[in-house]
Structure 1
Amino acid sequence: MNEFKNIHILGIGLIGGSLSRDLKRILPESVLYGVDSNEDHLDEAIGLGVIDHSSRFEAINQADLVILAIPVDQANLFLPPILDALKEDALVIDVGSTKGSVCDAVKEHPRRDQFLAAHPIAGTEFSGPSAAIEHLFKNKTMILCEVEKTRHDLLDKALQIFEALEMKIRYMNPHSHDKHIAYVSHLSHISSFMLGKTVIEKEKNEKDIFDMAGSGFASTVRLAKSNPATWTPIFKENKANVLESLSEYITNLTHFKNVLEAGDYEEVYNEMHNTNHIKSILKGLS
C-alpha cells in the first residue's frame, strides 16, 4: 500500500475529495495531486487542504495510483487513455456509480489488469471540494466488479486501502450492480427531484412550504439538492435500468391512486402495512 507515493485524483468533488482527505490520513508519505476541469475547484481544494497540489492529465504517467471520480459518461472516455499512459505497476480505480459501461469500455484493453472497477456506497447531497469530509467511507460498503480481471498484486494493494478506510467489501457483476443500484439509489434520486418539483409548482408561495414542511418532507426531498451535473450522466449511462425501475414505481403509484380513488381504505392500509417490511430489511443501516 505504501508504494502508492504519487496519487492523482481526477475529479475533486464529494467522492474524490473525501477519498483524498482519507488517503492523506492513511498514507501520510504520499503526495496527493488533483486534476479537475474546474480551476476554481483545484484552488479551493488546495486552500482547504483536500489535495497537496494541482496537476494535469498529461502527468498521469507519473502516478502510482489514479482515482477516477468524474461524471460516469466522461469516465468511459478518459479511462482508455489513462490506461495507455500508466506506469507498469500503477493502478487506476474508477469510483463512479455505474459500472457496466466503464467495464465494457476497457474490456479489450491490453492493460485491463491495471484497472479496478469500484463503487463506494457513500455520499451526501452536497458537491464540490467543500463537501469533502474525512471518514465518509467508514463502515460503508465498497462494491468491486470484475476483480478477477485486475492484477492480483494491484488488487491486494487496493484492498489494503479499503481495509484502512474501514470499508465492507462486496463483489458483484457490473451489469447486475447497475440493475440493483437503479432501484436503491437512482430511483430514490428521481423520486426526490420530482417530489421537490411537484411541491415547488403547487406551492407558489415559498413561505407556505417552509412553514408547513416537517422533517418527513425535508428527509424525503433531501436528495433533490444533489448536483444535476453528476446525476444526468448517471441516468444517461444507466438508462435502461432506470426506465425499468421507473415503470415499476409508476405502476405502484398508479395502483395506490386507484385504490384511494375507489375508497378502498382497507387496501390503502394493506399497501402501507405490507411495505412496513422494509424496516426489517434496512435494520441496522446507518
Structure 2
Amino acid sequence: MKVFIVGIGLIGGSFALDLKAGIPGISIAGIDGNEDHLKQALELGLIDRMSTMEDIHDADLVYLAIPVDASIKVLPEVLDRVKDDCVVIDAGSTKENICRVVEDHAKRRNFLAAHPIAGTEFSGPQAAIHGLFRNKTNIICEVEKTAFKLQEKALEVFQKIGMRIRYMDARSHDRHIAYVSHLSHISSFMLGKTVLEKEKNERDIFDLAGSGFASTVRLAKSSPAMWAPIFSQNKKNVLETLNEYILNLQHFRKLMQEDNFDQLYQEMDRTNHIKEVLNGINKNEELKLQENGK
C-alpha cells in the first residue's frame, strides 16, 4: 500500500509509525510545507521518501494531518489529483466546514472525514509517538458519503493500528468537541497567560507550581498554529461553551464575594460527580477492549 501523509507533525508522524508497525511492506511518502520537517521525518524513519502534491496521483491512501484551515484549502486539490480507488482521510478537530467544502466535489466518495481523539501538547516530527492511536477513539463523520470499498480500506487500517470507531454527524461532533477539547485548551492557555502576567518573576512560578498547576496548564504548550484555526473554524460552538464557562466562573466569584462558602462547597461537591462519570466511561471502555480481544 502506498500512503501519502500531508503534514508530518505529531499526528501525521505518529500515524506513520503505527502504519509501519501494523502493515508490513507499506510505503510512506511525506508532504509538508516545512522542508525541515520532511528532512527530520526522513531521518527519524517516519517516512520512506519526501514527496510533493504532483506525485499524489500514485497514492492508495492519503492522510491529511495539517491545521484545519489548511485542510479546507488542500483537500479539494488532493481529491482532484487522486485515483478512483484512493481513500483520502483527514484528522482535523473540526468536521462541519471541511465536509461542507467538498460536499459537491466529483470525488466526494473518496473522502472520509475523521477525527482521532489522540495527541499530546507537543508538535513537530520529533513529537511522533509509536502507539499514540492504540485504544483511542476515532470519530468518523458522514460515513455514508464515502464509497463502501473505501470505507472498508480505511477501517482495516484503523483496526490494524488499534483504534476504536464511533460514528457521528459533523455538526454534533463540532458541538460536543467544543466542550471536551476546545474549551479545555482555552482554559489552559488563559491560566498560563494569567500566571505569566501576574508573576513577573518566573522563578516564583517554578518554585511554587505543583502537579495541579502543571497538569492544568499542560495544554498551553500546544501549538497556536494548530489551535487558532480550530477556534476560528468552530467559532459558534466555542463561543457558546465559553459563555457557559464564564457564567460559572462569575457565579463562583459571586459566592466568594458574599462569603457563601457553604454554597461553594455544595457546588464543588456536586461537580465531584464527574469522577463517577469518568470511572464509568473507563470501565465501559475496558469491557469493550476485553470483548474485542476474545
The two structures have a TM-score, normalised by structure 1, of 0.97
Aligned residues, how many? 282
Q: In the TM superposition, what are the counterparts of 1:53-202 in structure 2 within 5 Å?
A: 53-202=49-198
Q: Could you tell me how far 1:172 is from its partner in structure 2?
A: 0.3
Q: Quick one: distance in 2 between partners of 1:89 and 1:257?
A: 57
Q: Is the 8 A contact 2:23 2:160 kept in 1?
A: no
Q: Which residue matches 1:229? A: 225
Q: Which residue matches 1:278? A: 274
Q: Quick one: distance in 1 between partners of 2:56 and 2:23?
A: 19
Q: Could you tell me how far 1:28 is from its partner in structure 2?
A: 2.1
Q: Could you tell me how far 1:225 is from its partner in structure 2?
A: 0.3
Q: Which residue matches 1:14? A: 10
The residue type equivalent to 1:124 in the other structure is T
Can you list the C-alpha shifts for 1:110-162, whole angstroms capped at 9, x where unaligned? 11111000000000000000000110011110000000011111101111111
Q: Structure 1 regions of 5+ residues with no counterpart?
A: none
Q: Quick one: distance in 2 between partners of 1:163 and 1:22?
A: 11
| RMSD after superposition | 1.0
Q: Quick one: distance in 1 between partners of 2:126 and 2:87?
A: 27
Q: Quick one: distance in 2 between partners of 1:252 and 1:170?
A: 31
Q: Quick one: distance in 1 between partners of 2:114 and 2:103?
A: 15
Q: Quick one: distance in 2 between partners of 1:258 and 1:233?
A: 34
Q: Quick one: distance in 1 between partners of 2:11 and 2:24?
A: 19
Percent identical among aligned pairs is 61
Q: Structure 2 regions of 5+ residues with no counterpart?
A: 286-294
| 1:214 partnered with 2:216 | no
Q: Quick one: distance in 1 between partners of 2:241 and 2:160?
A: 35
The two structures have a TM-score, normalised by structure 2, of 0.94
Select 2:37's aligned residue among 27, 41, 58: 41
Q: Quick one: distance in 1 between partners of 2:246 and 2:160?
A: 42
| 1:259 partnered with 2:279 | no
Q: Quick one: distance in 2 between partners of 1:15 and 1:136?
A: 8
Q: Quick one: distance in 2 between partners of 1:113 and 1:210?
A: 52
SS of residue in 1 equivalent to 2:69: helix
